[in-house]
Amino acid sequence: MSDKVPGQITYDIAEREIMSSGHLACPGCGATLSMRLALKVLGPRTVLCIPACCWAVIDGPFPYSSVGVPLVHCAFETAAITATGVRHALDVRGQKDITVVAWAGDGGTFDIGFGALSAAAERNENILYICYDNEAYMNTGIQRSSATPVGAWTTTTPAEHPKEEPKKNLVEILGSHRIPYAATATVAYPDDLNRKLEKAKNMTGMRLLHIFSPCPPGHKSLESDSIKISRLAVETKVFPLYEIENGTKFTLNRESAGVPVTEYTKLQGRFKHLTEAELKQMQERVDYEWDILMKRIAVFA
Amino acid sequence: MEKVLTGNQSVSWGAMRARAQVIAAYPITPQTTIIEELASLVSDGKLDARFIKVESEHSALAACIGAEQAGARSFTATSAQGLALMHELIHWASLARLPIVMADVNRAMAPGWTIWTDQNDSLSERDTGWLQFYCESNQEVLDTVLLAYKIGERIKLPVMLILDAFFLSHTAEAVNIPEPEEADAFLPPYEGDLIVDVENPRAFGGMAGVDYYQEFRYMQQEAMLEGLKVVEEVGKEFGERFGRHYGLIEPYRCEDAEAIIVTSGTVTSTARDVIDEWRDRGESVGLLKMRTLRPFPIDLVRETLRGVPKVGVIDRNICPGFGGIWAQEIKAAMYDVDQADRPDIYGFIAGLGGRDVTPITVNEVLEKTLHPEKIEKHLNWIALKA
């Protein structure tokens, strides 16, 4: 990493491309950019375990594959445990240097795969779990998941009755398992993502990376706005960039930019039904959650 | 080496002699003593394996799938509800062509809660693309673990070996345990060729459109048919090495039989004694032990039962709305036999939920099969309480 001057953008992104073109992603897909960036850091000695999710499709149909590393497709609820099985087998076979990654969407992580994820975390399995979070079941046509934010439209939470429950806090829950590392990241901050991947790659035990991934068809946003939405998610405090080491040491990676939540919501059709009062409530909730996070950081600093 | 082992210990010792490398399991009665023994063997360093103590049977099989895909010999064991919870991945393991070996200790499905034996759990997995072997003794259990790996790894299909709850799982008898070097000579280390390899990256199990899927199924079926030959070949080799022979089926005193009864699992041992008594009295009756459910040995079953006037099938299971599952299989196999040579086949349901199947039960089945005037051809309940 080069010396940083405050305010100056100096991204250190590896030139190498492990992933190839020809994949089946939608234009503007944050999950695909996440994979491209992740593989640059993780390198060719990586095995991916991918359950049912957008990425089960994006990689390409048999006999094609675009990721450039071995990819074990697995059942919806089994990303963490399949990766665990691969990890133990590679260890037994003397291939301990290979990074084993479970790469799953929010449905496979927050919902159906949560039991296996929690169990792998409890056993502190030596895997890197990456959740690319597009905040709903996008692959099956935008149904709500427990990662869908409160107020959002999905095909199972119509605009007349949008999602009433707040999003599950994945990173805090995984942190409570006292795993070595849990962190958030998003594609608008590739330097931060890079650093976290590098850090996670070089640790042993269970590591979790939660990547917020804009989804133009699911969020009803412009393909050209994906990076902007990713950045605004952080600047509005909707998706703070932070990390938790050993479950207790919280570190904030990006200060609040103080941008109002409406700057984030107005770019996404999934929030367009919200009234001024509801948007105000959303702002209050975001501020409240941010305050809690600041307190945690302060307590364990 | 000879040791007194329970059926469950025989499973564990079989897995140890097979040098299973990754074990993943979740406890369920009556399987528990299998994994307790394995945990001890691993802990004592007698078995050099990773034992992943997972949070569910679903994850147990998923871990084996991951391990096997990455080239390690894997093992799991379960019963009843646990097997049912695995169901999605039971299909997965076979379509992914991963030669995992699993022991299922037959236990009846709930409700009502029961821990006693019957075959509905394993028979419900008939159509998943696993080979299934039903064992009769603890010796057969141990030997079948070794056979299962050798057979499965040759045809790239997973194998389930099945033993009755308590009648085998918790009953001890003398078992001959192959020495490690003998077992190694029979079963060399696993060399998977379609496994995770960072030097040659491939995607496993990705989207298969209409251009491919049917051919995957065709290849799976072809592997099963190949399995018919491989089971016999490997069984023969095992017999030459260890003096114990295992094939697809075991006919017993079937020559010129007026009636043959068909059994599986521990009911076979009871039936064998009964057949001996009847034969000693000069009655022409025989026994067909079904060791293999899949691949179904259609030709051998036809050969054994062709021209036999009467066949009685004892089913320790029920397919509600149809009848006994083995009876259904036997009837399907005999359909293409010329009518003149086709036996009358009578179905008997007995021993569900662990109810004892005694010589009295088998005698009743034999009597009724030989004198069927007062019974139903398709389905008869034995020892049913009024």
Cβ <8 Å between A73 and B54: no
CATH number of this structure's domain B250-381: 3.40.50.920
Q: What residues contact A30, with CB distance under 8 A and at least 6 apart?
A: A132, A134, A186, A187, A211, A212, A213, A214, A215, A226, A230
Q: What is the mean pLDDT of residues B20-25?
A: 98
Which residue type occupies A20? S
Chain A hits for B206, Cβ within 8 Å: 56, 59-62, 64-65, 71, 73
Give the tokens for residue A300.
Answer: 């364990």
The confidence band for A11, taking pLDDT boundaries of 50, 70 and 90, is low
The domain spans of chain B are 2-242, 250-381
Out of B49, B65, B204, whose CB is closest to A85?
Answer: B65
| Shortest CA distance from A119: residue in chain B | B55
CATH 3.40.50.300 for domain A30-300, yes or no, is no
Q: Which residue has the higher pLDDT, A2 or A40?
A: A40
Cβ <8 Å between A85 and B207: no
Cβ <8 Å between B70 and A85: yes
The domain spans of chain A are 30-300
Model pLDDT for residues A253-281, shown as the tens digit of each residue: 999 999 999 999 999 999 999 999 999 99
Out of B55, B92, B202, whose CB is closest to A70?
Answer: B202
Q: Distance from A293 to chain B by nearest Cα, in Å?
A: 31
DSSP secondary structure code for residue A167 in this structure: P
Give the tokens for residue A85.
Answer: 């099985």
Q: Distance from B250 to chain A by nearest Cα, in Å?
A: 37
Q: Return d(Cα B77, Cα B101) in angstroms, integer.
A: 8
Chain B residues at the A interface, defined by Cβ less than 8 Å, are 21-22, 24, 49-50, 52-56, 58-59, 62-72, 74, 88-89, 92, 196-198, 201-209, 212
> Residue A59: what are its φ and ψ, rounded to 5°?
-60, -25
Confidence (pLDDT) at A1: 44
CA nearest to B20, candidates B43, B42, B53, B37: B42
Out of B198, B205, B212, whose CB is closest to A44?
Answer: B198
Cβ <8 Å between A71 and B204: yes
Out of A77, A86, A123, whose CB is closest to B69?
Answer: A86
Q: Return d(Cα A118, Cα B162) in angstroms, integer.
A: 31
Which residue has 């097979």 as its token pair? B18
Which residue type occupies B231? V
- Arithmetic mean of pLDDT over chain B: 98
Residue A133 confidence (pLDDT) above 80: yes
Cβ <8 Å between A70 and B198: yes
Out of A56, A69, A88, whose CB is closest to B22?
Answer: A88
Q: Return d(Cα A268, Cα A226) in angstroms, integer.
A: 10
Confidence (pLDDT) at A15: 87
Q: Distance from A57 to chain B by nearest Cα, in Å?
A: 7
The confidence band for A10, taking pLDDT boundaries of 50, 70 and 90, is low
| Shortest CA distance from B23: residue in chain A | A85
The confidence band for B7, taking pLDDT boundaries of 50, 70 and 90, is very high
Q: What is the mean pLDDT of residues B204-227?
A: 97
CATH topology of domain B2-242: Rossmann fold (3.40.50)
Please report which residue ranges of B106-212 form alpha helices under DSSP H: 120-123, 138-155, 180-186
| Shortest CA distance from B74: residue in chain A | A89
Chain A residues at the B interface, defined by Cβ less than 8 Å, are 44-47, 49, 56-57, 59-62, 64-65, 67-75, 77-78, 81-93, 95, 98, 115-116, 118-119, 122-123
Confidence (pLDDT) at A3: 57
B2-242 and B250-381 in the same fold: yes
Confidence (pLDDT) at A9: 61
Residue A4 confidence (pLDDT) above 70: no
Chain A hits for B203, Cβ within 8 Å: 59-60, 62, 64-65, 67, 70-71, 73
Chain B hits for A206, Cβ within 8 Å: none
Cβ <8 Å between A74 and B88: no
Give the tokens for residue B107.
Answer: 């236990």
pLDDT above 90: percentage of residues in chain A: 94
Please report which residue ranges of B297-376 form alpha helices under DSSP H: 298-305, 325-334, 359-370
Q: What is the mean pLDDT of residues A179-187?
A: 98
Chain B hits for A65, Cβ within 8 Å: 201-203, 206
| Shortest CA distance from B71: residue in chain A | A89
Confidence (pLDDT) at A12: 76
Q: Distance from A107 to chain B by nearest Cα, in Å?
A: 17
Cβ <8 Å between B205 and A73: yes
CB pairs under 8 A between A and B: 154
- On whether the CB atoms of residues B30 and B115 are closer than 8 A, the answer is yes
Out of B67, B202, B208, whose CB is closest to A85?
Answer: B67
